[in-house]
Amino acid sequence: MGKPTGFLEIDRQTDSELDPLERLKNWKEFKIHGEDSVRRSQGARCMDCGTPFCHTGHIVSGMASGCPINNLIPEWNDLIYRGRWREALERLLKTNNFPEFTGRVCPAPCEGSCVLGVIEPPVTIKNNECAIIDKGWEEGWMTPRQPETRTGKKVAVVGSGPAGLACADQLNQAGHEVTVFERADRIGGLLMYGIPNMKLDKEEVVQRRVDLMAAEGVVFKTGVHIGKDPEWTAEKLRKDFDAIVLCCGATLGRDLPAEGRDAKGIHLAMEFLTANTSHQLDHQFDGSNPSLNATGKDVVVIGGGDTGTDCVGTSLRHGCKSVIQLEIMPKPPLERAANNPWPEWPKVYKMDYGQEEAAAVQGDDPRQYLVNTKRFLKDEAGNLTGLEICNIEWVNEGGRFSPKEIEGSARIIPAQLVLLAMGFLGPEQEIVEQFALETDARSNVKAEHGKFTTNLPGVFAAGDMRRGQSLVVWAINEGRGAARECDRFLMGVTGLP
């Protein structure tokens, strides 16, 4: 695949980015594709490696190794190297409904398992993927695809995040009449409100895809909260539709019940990010900030991961006074540890866009590792003023590691805004209870992967609601899988991949 000697001759070259201080001036995407010649040369680095781990999608040590949707990566790398972009797009769309999303926000487990990555920097798979789909849109190749026939079967998809959209797209192409219900005022779920605009443009990328799906026949209904809306109960859905697929996400955020938690100024990360994106869209990115903002404040983000990074980047764009990010885990090593071999996901230190921007403004990475929050401080009016934190070490007690405070390390840091980005506990329970769905020990809807069937005939569950908090690419995997099994339930057989 690619040029036989490409990996020996060509260095890795990722998409360029606007300077951190420059991109902080607005909410626009800051990644810039290179010329076609650059992407073609990067495709040439893909090796004829015999066993391309990049598209295996296995779970290794509890994490994805390779692409969970089994993208045909070596094939489309070879095609872009040869300048056959439209064929590359066709290969890409065989496995991925929304490469414009994954090409922007996926952490690229494919690159972590790239065979070239054993000895050299891996192939720029994520950038190549994004370049293919963006060229498809630019060239006018992305046009509505109408199903050849309609089956007369009606399917309700609840939730319009990546799992729900992938499921709806597949079922629509199978000829079913699909209606997607979304409780928010815009379609997209996590894609619309959980990821900031500078990572994933809402109007030019997300809405563009939604409009294409609508042109293909998918019906979207916003402002409908299944489980709470008296007009759209579980009973009515089961009566009006031949099948239902629940893709409601795992939106119940993990809280931090420390002393002083009731102080004004402590918010779950998604509350903060959603309020910001909603405001920016409503005001056409006019430079104003929402009422829940970081302007002029000392901000503390508790938790790492993508959500924590998004909080850092958003706070900086609001014009915060300072931002610190606290992580209870140790700082990752610069290179793979002995217990983290290829093709596992590399657990190594890196700075994402938010940390790069904070370093440009403040002079250093905003993250502090092995830190625990002891209590929140507030003034007489109940407003947050700071946090008492301490350093910890992880101690093995009876075979179980737990954090232990390091004596004398307690200190107070100022804060008028704290954002809790510590992950998610599972799906919100209203819809689970209304459908009387069985759940597992983690409160997720019980539905076996590969079958996606709940305890109710004709009701399926997919995405984070079933598997717990995960990646956008896993949500697409689940949405496609649930669509396949739903189609089989409706028709007796299925031709969906």
Say if residue 367's pLDDT is above 90. yes
How remote is the C-alpha of 151 from its chain's centroid?
33
Nearest 10 degrees: Cα torsion 398, 391, 367, 299: 120
- What average pLDDT does this structure show over 365-381? 98
- Residue 274: partners with Cβ closer than 8 Å, 6 or more residues away: 193, 194
The answer to whether residue 15 scores a pLDDT higher than 70 is yes
What is the predicted pLDDT for the residue at 439?
97
Give mean pLDDT, residues 4-26.
95
- Segment 480-497, tens digit of pLDDT: 999 999 999 999 999 999
What pLDDT does 474 receive? Answer: 96
| pLDDT over 90 at 3, yes or no | no
- The contacts of residue 381 (CB under 8 Å, 6+ apart) are 264
Q: Which residues pair with 386 in a beta bridge?
A: 377, 414
- Distance from chain centroid for Cα 477: 13
- Judge whether 121 and 12 are in contact, CB under 8 Å: yes
Predicted confidence at residue 399, as pLDDT, reads 87
Radius of gyration of the chain measured on its C-alpha atoms: 23
What average pLDDT does the segment 407-426 reach?
Answer: 97
Give the chain's mean pLDDT.
Answer: 96
User: In the prediction, which pLDDT does 361 show?
Assistant: 98
Walk me through the domains of the chain, giving residue ranges and CATH numbers.
6-138 (1.10.1060.10), 154-251+425-491 (3.50.50.60), 255-422 (3.50.50.60)
In tens, the pLDDT along 114-139 reads 999 999 999 999 999 999 999 999 99
pLDDT tens sequence across 263-290: 999 999 999 999 999 999 999 999 999 9
The CA-based angle 386-390-394, given to 5 degrees, is 145
1 band by pLDDT with thresholds 50, 70 and 90: low
Strand ranges, E, within 319-455 = 322-326, 367-368, 371-378, 384-397, 400-405, 411-414, 417-420, 424-426
> How many other β-carbons are positioned within 10 Å of the β-carbon of residue 343?
19
Interval 54-59 mean pLDDT:
90
Distances (CA, A) of 403 to 209, 366, 368: 45, 22, 15
pLDDT, residue 63, reads: 84
What was the pLDDT predicted at 495?
A: 96
Asked if pLDDT for residue 25 goes beyond 80, the answer is: yes
Region 358-372 average pLDDT: 98
3-state SS string over 380-419? CCCEEEEEEEEEEEEEEECCEEEEEECCCCCEEEECCEEE
At residue 13, the pLDDT reads 96
Instruction: State the pLDDT confidence band at 360, using cuts at 50, 70 and 90.
Output: very high
Question: What's the average model confidence in pLDDT over 51-79?
Answer: 92
Tell me which residue of 442, 496, 486 sits closest to 153, measured CA to CA: 486
Query: What pLDDT is stored for residue 62 in this prediction?
Result: 85
Q: Identify the CA nearest to 131 among candidates 2, 54, 56, 31.
A: 31
**Closest listed residue to residue 237, CA positions, set 466, 488, 458:** 458
**114 contact partners, CB below 8 Å, separation of at least 6:** 53, 54, 122, 123, 125
pLDDT of residue 2: 73
CB 482 within 8 A of CB 247: yes
| pLDDT value for 374 | 97
**Rounded average pLDDT over 369-373:** 98
Range of lowest pLDDT (9-18, 60-69, 124-133, 160-169): 60-69
